[in-house]
Structure 1
């Protein structure tokens, strides 16, 4: 949207802005907004996970480097756009990839490297929990990671004092209380139906299960962060926190901190998908869809029950593999352009690839985007594959189209299960960097999920913008706001409504046909990790 220059400068100078930070799987992103939620400046820093000793992890030293780099880029963006840079900020919030395992001792020393959502090493624990509790327990949830530590009798268990998420950890570094918002907490451990606290009966059952396997002194409630309602006090940006974001010393402490959230919750806020029947799809390294349900969420295999930031139940279909493989091909084509002496910027490469897919056909090509294992398909490990039928002409457009259909295929399967069990889907709102270029990706997603898909101009900002909105809501609460978050969001003039694309009949037919070929070829995907170690 177009900003009034004087109003933007005033907001930045008087500290009435809010800052959202999200540590995503490939980028650490910072977004600064005004009181209406309009984006004033952004900054980002790339990072990546790595496989160490059988676990996917990120180095926590990279967190500090990445936060400072993303904030420095935001300051530069603000200076270029408005001629001023922030020195004080009204409210700050941090979100990150949900789930995983960050374990600390009583002195806040990290006990083992951060184990991310991407790990599929917790199968035994997840199965045992699911059988004992009578409910689906995803491999990537913190509860599964913790019980796996018990089952494996890992040495650090005797010194374990607390477990948190990546967002919870960074929030404490900024000066915050050891708390989580409802959504991020729901990816650690099952919550009560209203999202106000962890489910006490499940906590007790977990403790009994841990005791049966040797951890007689473990009390899981004592290890988990406290749940703090959306908009409530979660601390204040400290001197050390301000210096972490801005080592130059220009940023002043004192900003109100809002409860940290997971990337699922920030996606719901960014898309304003907080009412029953609404949902959103986040497309990145992973891909997941969340639908707010009426009443109790269904207890189904491979469907997570999480919560909105306000605590309402959400049915979530999560797939480990999104568009990383498509991004890898974009990088390869970018290298080709550079080698030819006609370098194309990464965003231009991606846009050209998507444009080529507009009028192409995926007939005869099947792609598997399994960079990592895929729990929903029982794949312990993954290898990307492209298969082309004999006589099929390979074109850029057909190849990209197949990659897009592949990126949505596992999610398509999970969403079909939700529909079959009566979960209403009125509309889905898509966000993530893939949608910076509007067009084919939105249309293929609508066809794959057979539901209307909305994309806004801010779709590429994703969860960092959603976190900035949560920070702005915290600031509004400090100033006396009493309305619920979902009502407050509806009245923000800085939020673009976006455009809706319905599922096209011809594309639906193509997507269904592709899905049949994709399922038929899954034995190849299962065999690939054995052949290519």
Structure 2
């Protein structure tokens, strides 16, 4: 058996798979977010470890109920939310709450990092507030006493690793999201570390995702009745999610509909298009890279509109939207509730409904939300295409993939078949378990371990609807952003400090 542990933004998830790749047990434990100031997003790393313990122990109990002994676990793999800055002192004490991927305070520091000679060639990316390096630059400027105590910087999943094995280690895919990695060469960049006042010694060791970084600590092995099994380097959540659905070869692509929306396409060489805020990262597999477009808000927009319209759940809202089938003259929605990455790289972008009429209904707002997220995803997919990596078919994963209505709408918007596969809603934990197997069995076949799960459905695009979205709705969607951008870009404090809060509150009202 192989155990995958995924530290998400809203929950820690655990999954157990057998040698045939079948999921035998699952468990999770929820997490909460803190937003102490406008554009800030933080979590206490202590809650990560407590949630991980709970998820693993629930998982092992569920497995035991099915007659599966924890002694059969042969390896553990890790995945997690990317970019989070977990700062430790020399005694491994957490110095401050972790600054998360969707935190937007460090845009001024991004502009400074862009001035590092050769920046884009080293990182393959724009400097964005979501990445880790600008966060450390912000701490250096605004919290110097904390910065002076920093001995190690760990990414979220690697904080769990420290508790599991006692090792400071990470994988290439997660490290690529820090802006400290030389992405083409898969090694730490001294010049990027120098720009943040850090050193290689501050960083965890680098490993490929399929490598073991250490073994389970004796006290945990005893607590869980396991051997001291190897713990795989694993991958960032998107790379691990791709491994989980078999997106491992050049030209394969997936669309992840979680809290954020991600389009992920695999390349057998380094490619980049930073001018459109396309992310260029290492994959969790050796000698493999990927391009990624990222929307900060995807399924989270559905939660927003369900709450706004007083619906008891997203499921209720989706059912109402499907019954109404939408209107071609319905309102439009900008999905930028907490800023945006691809293609705008605009931390100040905000959400908006436009085109409301006296007869607009809650179902109209729901359909506008589904469509607006889809049009935002299309912008990102076209940016990846422009980098030279085009996929004719896309696999859909994440919680949003459970809606047949929305996935068909997305196929119509994007104009490509969308495939749904079993286990697509398990997410990155499944990929982490697969990486655990590859670490425990170095001779295992990649094609066998990372095979695509069985096909469940294919959403073929309706050509007439695709033409409608491309010819009528996409131009309106893009123009709406251009029209509103000067308003909200001037409404927020730009230094990310608490002093900017009152101005930033105005921009939050744009939603």
TM-score (normalizing by structure 1): 0.82
SS at match of 2:357: coil
Identify if the C-alpha distance between structure 1 residues 31 and 112 changes in structure 2 by more than 3 Å, giving closer, same or farther: same
CA contact (8 A) 1:182 1:195 kept: no
Partner of 2:402: 436
Partner of 2:373: 407
Q: Comparing 34-43 with 374-383, which one deviates more in the overlay?
A: 374-383
Identify if the C-alpha distance between structure 1 residues 53 and 220 changes in structure 2 by more than 3 Å, giving closer, same or farther: farther
Match of 1:105 among 89, 101, 105: 89
Match of 1:286 among 260, 264, 285: 260
Q: Distance in 2 between matches of 1:71 and 1:139?
A: 32
Shift of 1:262: 0.8
Identify if the C-alpha distance between structure 1 residues 110 and 38 changes in structure 2 by more than 3 Å, giving closer, same or farther: same
Match of 1:232 among 211, 214, 223: 211
**Deviation sequence 1:409-443 (CA, Å, 0-9, x none):** 33322222232343222322221011123x22222
Partner of 1:530: 506
Identify if the C-alpha distance between structure 1 residues 414 and 336 changes in structure 2 by more than 3 Å, giving closer, same or farther: closer
SS at match of 2:280: strand
Q: Distance in 1 between matches of 2:320 and 2:424?
A: 19
Q: Does 1:463 align with 2:428?
A: yes
Q: Distance in 2 between matches of 1:68 and 1:356?
A: 42
SS at match of 1:120: coil
Q: Distance in 1 between matches of 2:438 and 2:321?
A: 36
Partner of 1:9: none
Partner of 1:518: 477
CA contact (8 A) 2:254 2:264 kept: yes
Q: Distance in 2 between matches of 1:381 and 1:137?
A: 15
Q: Distance in 2 between matches of 1:186 and 1:505?
A: 38
SS at match of 1:32: strand
Shift of 1:59: 1.7
Partner of 2:494: none
Partner of 2:123: none
Match of 2:463 among 492, 505, 509: 505
Q: Does 1:61 align with 2:54?
A: no
Q: Does 1:422 align with 2:388?
A: yes
Q: Does 1:138 align with 2:128?
A: yes
Partner of 1:12: none
CA contact (8 A) 1:239 1:252 kept: no
**Deviation sequence 1:187-238 (CA, Å, 0-9, x none):** 123544566423x4xx22541x45xxxxxxx443221111112332211122
Identify if the C-alpha distance between structure 1 residues 448 and 144 changes in structure 2 by more than 3 Å, giving closer, same or farther: farther
Q: Comparing 322-331 with 118-127, which one deviates more in the overlay?
A: 322-331
**Deviation sequence 1:100-156 (CA, Å, 0-9, x none):** 211111111112210001111221222222232342223222222223333446222
Partner of 2:501: none
Q: Distance in 1 between matches of 2:262 and 2:107?
A: 20
Partner of 1:52: 36
Q: Distance in 2 between matches of 1:85 and 1:261?
A: 26
CA contact (8 A) 2:5 2:429 kept: yes
Q: Does 1:316 align with 2:301?
A: no
SS at match of 2:167: coil
Q: Distance in 2 between matches of 1:459 and 1:350?
A: 22
Q: Comparing 347-356 with 258-267, which one deviates more in the overlay?
A: 347-356
Q: Distance in 2 between matches of 1:278 and 1:164?
A: 30
Q: Does 1:70 align with 2:55?
A: yes
CA contact (8 A) 1:20 1:31 kept: yes
CA contact (8 A) 2:306 2:314 kept: no
Partner of 1:3: none
Q: Comparing 126-135 with 111-120, which one deviates more in the overlay?
A: 126-135
**Cα RMSD after superposing both structures:** 2.9
Identify if the C-alpha distance between structure 1 residues 416 and 85 changes in structure 2 by more than 3 Å, giving closer, same or farther: same
Identify if the C-alpha distance between structure 1 residues 101 and 440 changes in structure 2 by more than 3 Å, giving closer, same or farther: same
Q: Distance in 2 between matches of 1:392 and 1:514?
A: 20
Identify if the C-alpha distance between structure 1 residues 395 and 138 changes in structure 2 by more than 3 Å, giving closer, same or farther: closer
Structure 1: gaps (5+ residues): 1-16, 211-217, 244-248, 338-345
SS at match of 1:412: helix
CA contact (8 A) 2:234 2:240 kept: no
Partner of 2:226: 252
Partner of 1:387: 354
Q: Distance in 2 between matches of 1:255 and 1:108?
A: 23
Q: Distance in 2 between matches of 1:399 and 1:267?
A: 30
Q: Does 1:275 align with 2:242?
A: no
Structure 2: gaps (5+ residues): 121-125, 492-504
SS at match of 1:234: strand
Shift of 1:388: 4.1
Q: Distance in 2 between matches of 1:124 and 1:424?
A: 33
Shift of 1:38: 0.8
Q: Distance in 1 between matches of 2:311 and 2:279?
A: 41
**Deviation sequence 1:468-499 (CA, Å, 0-9, x none):** 1111222323xxx254x3x233558xx32443
CA contact (8 A) 1:91 1:256 kept: yes
Identify if the C-alpha distance between structure 1 residues 347 and 367 changes in structure 2 by more than 3 Å, giving closer, same or farther: closer
Q: Distance in 2 between matches of 1:64 and 1:417?
A: 37
- Pairs aligned (count): 481
CA contact (8 A) 1:442 1:455 kept: no
Shift of 1:448: 3.0
